[in-house]
C-alpha cells in the first residue's frame, strides 16, 4: 500500500498491509504474552512502561522526523511525540495508585451470611483503530492505559499516516516485555482486528464509528468510540474582544484545524462583535502557511487531500447561501500540497453545511447574537456533542453557562483544552462518541473486568428449602 506525502502530493512511501493470517498470529502471540504481563502486577508493568517512555523519548527525533513527513507539520509533530511520552509516564505513575485504591472488599452483602470480594482482571487483548490527524498520540492514547491495566494491545494506525510505525517498532525492540504491536492497512485490517480482540477503542469519523460499533456488536465486545465534533465557542458581551479573538483563532486553526476538538462555530455577542471580528481578521491575516519553507509559518497542508476538497465545498456552499468571506476562503495547491489560510465567514446561517457538518479545517464561521439564550440554543443545535468553549468577562460568568451546553467537555476562558488536559473525565454526547471517558481514571478502569467472589459464611441452603407445600 502507498502513502502520500502531504507537502509534495507524491506517493513516496510504501508499506506492507497485514494479512488476516498475520493479524491472527500477532493476536495469538500477544494473548500468550499477556498472561505474564498481567501477572507482573501494576508496579512491574509501570516500571516497564517507564522504560518504554524513556526509549520513546530517546528515539523522539526519529519518530518526529517520520511524523513530520506523515503530517507535513514540524513543531506539532515534536509536541505530539513529547505528549505521547508524557501520556505513558502519567499512566505509569497513576496506574499503581489506582490499583491500590480499588475496592476489593470484603463487604457484607444485604443477603444474610454472604460476604462479597471483588477481583479485577484485564480484558486480555485490547485493540485500537486510529485516525490520521494525530497519528502517534491517537494510536497510543487508549493503548497505554490498557497496557497499564494488564491488557496486551494491538493497534492499527491510519493507512494515511503509517511512517511513524517503523521507528516505533525499533523502540519496541528495546522493551520486549511490552505486549504491544501494530498491524497496518485500511478498513479491511480494521475489521479483521475487531474480530481478534476483546475490547475495541476507535477514534475517527462518526460514519466509520458506526461500522466499528456494528462489527463490535457482532463480536459482542465493548466498543469505545471517540468520533467527530462541531465544537461551538460562545463569547459573551463582557469578554475582552482581543483575547477572545486570539483564543478563538488558535483553537480553530492549530494543526490546520485537523483536530476533533477544534472550534468550528463562533457565537459572539453583538456588543463586542465589531472589535472581535476586526481582531479575528487581523489575527487570521497574520497567520502564515508553512510553504515554501517547512520550518517557518504556523499551519501546514491538509494531511488527507480529499479533506481539502470537502472544506472548499463547505466554503462554496456557505458563499452561495450568502456568507461573506472576511479572510482566506480558497484552498491553494502549492508544491503539490493543499493549503488553506485561516478562513473567516460572516453572515452564516444554521442551514449552511459549514454550520452542520464537521469541517476539520481552519475555518471560523461567526454568528452574531443578540441574546444569550438564542446563542446557547444554536450552539446546541447539532448532532455532535464533543466539546465546546465559553469566553466571558469572568470565570464565574462562564461557569454559569457551561452546564447548559450539550457537550462532553467545556473549556472556560479558553478553547479546545481537551487536547492539553489528560485527566479531565468527560463523556461525549450525541454522535461524538460512546462509552466511558478515555480521560481521567476511567481511562484505565474501563479495561478491568470485575469478578464477584460471593462467599458463604453461614449455612448453605439445601434442596428441602424449596420443597413444595411449605411457602405461603
Q: How far is the CB of 151 from ligand NAD (least distance, A)?
A: 19
226 is an active site residue: yes
DSSP sequence for 335-399: TTEEE---EEEES--TTSHHHHS---SSEEEEEEESSHHHHHHHHT-SSEESEEEEE-SSHHHHH
Query: In the complex with ligand NAD, which residue's Cβ is closer, 125 or 326?
Result: 125
229 vs 329 by CB, closer to ligand NAD: 229
**Contact set with ligand NAD (CB under 6 A):** 129-133, 138, 156, 158-159, 186-187, 190-191, 203-205, 208, 211-212, 226-229, 260, 358, 360, 386, 433
DSSP helix/strand/coil, 108: strand
Q: Are 453 and 119 in contact (CB under 8 A)?
A: yes
Closest separation between CB of residue 123 and ligand NAD, Å?
Answer: 19
Nearest to 151 by CA among 453, 449, 435: 449
Query: 79, 286, 179: which is closest to 71 by C-alpha?
Result: 79
Catalytic residue among 80, 260, 264, 357: 260
Active-site residue 43, yes or no?
Answer: no
- Closest separation between CB of residue 159 and ligand NAD, Å? 5
Residue 272 or 388: which CB sits closer to ligand NAD?
388
Beta carbon nearer to ligand NAD, 186 or 350: 186
Least distance to ligand NAD, CB of residue 15, Å: 13
Q: How far is the CB of 153 from ligand NAD (least distance, A)?
A: 15
Buried b (16+ CB within 10 A) or exposed e, 114-141: ebbeeebebbbbbbbbbbbbbbbbbbbb
d(Cα 471, Cα 48) in Å, to the nearest integer? 60
Nearest CA among 382, 367, 446 for reference residue 151:
446
φ, ψ dihedrals at 410, nearest 5°:
-120, 130
Q: Which residue is nearest to ligand NAD (CB)?
A: 190
Which among 432, 437, 438 is positioned nearest to 207, based on CA atoms? 432
How many angstroms separate the CA atoms of 146 and 441, rounded? Answer: 12
Of the listed 38, 159, 226, 358, which one is catalytic?
Answer: 226
> Helix or strand or coil: residue 218?
helix
Nearer Cβ to ligand NAD (153/212): 212
The sign of the torsion formed by the CA atoms of 10, 183, 228, 440 equals: negative
**Measured from the CB atom, is 215 or 272 closer to ligand NAD?**
215
194 φ, ψ (degrees, to nearest 5):
-60, -35
Which active-site residues does the annotation give? Answer: 226, 260
Amino acid at each position: 500500500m502507498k502513502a502520500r506525502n502531504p507537502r509534495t502530493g507524491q506517493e513516496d512511501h510504501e508499506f506492507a498491509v497485514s494479512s488476516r493470517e498475520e493479524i491472527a498470529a500477532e493476536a495469538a502471540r500477544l494473548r500468550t504474552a499477556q498472561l505474564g504481563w498481567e501477572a507482573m502486577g501494576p508496579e512491574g508493568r509501570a516500571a516497564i512502561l517507564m522504560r518504554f517512555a524513556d526509549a520513546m523519548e530517546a528515539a523522539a527525533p526519529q519518530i518526529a522526523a517520520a511524523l513530520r513527513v506523515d503530517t507535513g507539520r514540524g513543531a506539532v509533530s515534536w509536541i505530539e511525540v513529547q505528549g505521547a511520552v508524557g501520556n505513558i509516564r502519567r499512566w505509569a505513575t497513576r496506574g499503581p495508585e489506582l490499583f491500590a485504591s480499588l475496592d476489593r472488599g470484603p463487604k457484607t452483602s444485604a443477603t444474610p451470611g454472604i460476604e462479597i470480594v471483588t477481583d479485577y482482571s484485564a480484558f486480555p487483548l485490547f485493540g485500537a483503530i486510529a485516525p490520521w490527524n494525530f497519528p502517534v498520540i491517537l494510536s497510543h492514547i487508549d493503548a497505554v492505559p490498557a497496557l497499564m491495566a494488564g491488557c496486551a494491545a494491538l493497534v492499527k494506525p491510519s493507512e494515511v499516516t503509517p511512517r511513524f510505525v517503523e521507528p516505533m517498532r525499533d523502540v519496541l525492540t528495546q522493551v520486549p516485555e511490552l505486549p504491544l504491536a501494530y498491524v497496518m492497512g485500511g478498513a479491511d485490517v480494521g475489521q479483521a482486528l475487531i474480530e481478534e480482540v476483546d475490547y475495541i477503542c476507535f477514534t475517527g469519523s462518526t460514519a466509520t464509528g458506526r461500522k466499528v460499533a456494528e462489527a463490535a456488536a457482532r463480536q459482542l465486545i465493548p466498543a469505545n468510540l471517540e468520533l467527530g465534533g462541531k465544537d461551538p465557542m460562545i463569547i459573551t458581551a463582557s469578554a475582552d474582544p482581543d483575547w477572545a479573538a486570539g483564543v478563538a483563532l488558535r483553537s480553530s486553526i492549530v494543526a490546520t484545524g485537523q483536530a476533533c476538538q477544534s472550534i468550528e462555530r463562533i457565537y459572539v455577542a453583538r456588543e463586542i462583535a465589531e472589535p472581535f471580528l476586526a481582531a479575528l481578521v487581523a489575527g487570521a491575516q497574520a497567520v502564515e502557511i508553512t510553504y515554501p519553507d517547512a520550518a517557518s509559518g504556523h499551519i501546514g497542508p491538509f494531511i488527507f487531500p480529499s479533506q481539502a476538497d470537502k472544506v472548499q465545498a463547505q466554503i462554496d456552499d456557505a458563499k452561495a447561501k450568502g456568507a461573506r468571506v472576511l479572510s482566506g476562503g480558497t484552498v491553494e495547491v502549492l508544491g503539490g500540497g493543499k493549503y488553506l489560510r485561516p478562513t473567516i465567514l460572516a453572515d452564516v446561517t444554521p442551514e449552511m453545511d459549514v454550520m452542520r457538518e464537521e469541517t476539520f479545517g481552519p475555518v471560523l464561521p461567526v454568528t452574531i447574537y443578540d441574546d444569550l439564550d438564542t446563542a446557547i440554543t444554536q450552539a446546541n443545535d447539532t448532532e455532535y456533542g464533543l466539546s465546546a468553549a465559553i469566553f466571558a468577562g469572568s470565570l464565574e460568568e462562564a461557569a454559569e453557562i457551561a452546564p447548559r451546553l450539550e457537550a462532553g467537555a467545556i473549556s472556560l476562558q479558553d478553547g479546545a483544552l481537551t487536547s492539553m488536559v489528560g485527566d479531565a473525565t468527560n463523556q461525549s454526547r450525541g454522535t461524538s462518541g460512546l462509552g466511558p471517558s478515555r480521560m481521567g481514571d476511567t481511562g484505565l478502569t474501563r479495561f478491568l473486568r470485575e469478578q464477584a467472589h460471593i462467599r458463604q459464611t453461614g449455612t448453605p441452603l439445601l434442596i428441602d428449602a424449596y420443597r413444595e407445600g411449605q411457602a405461603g
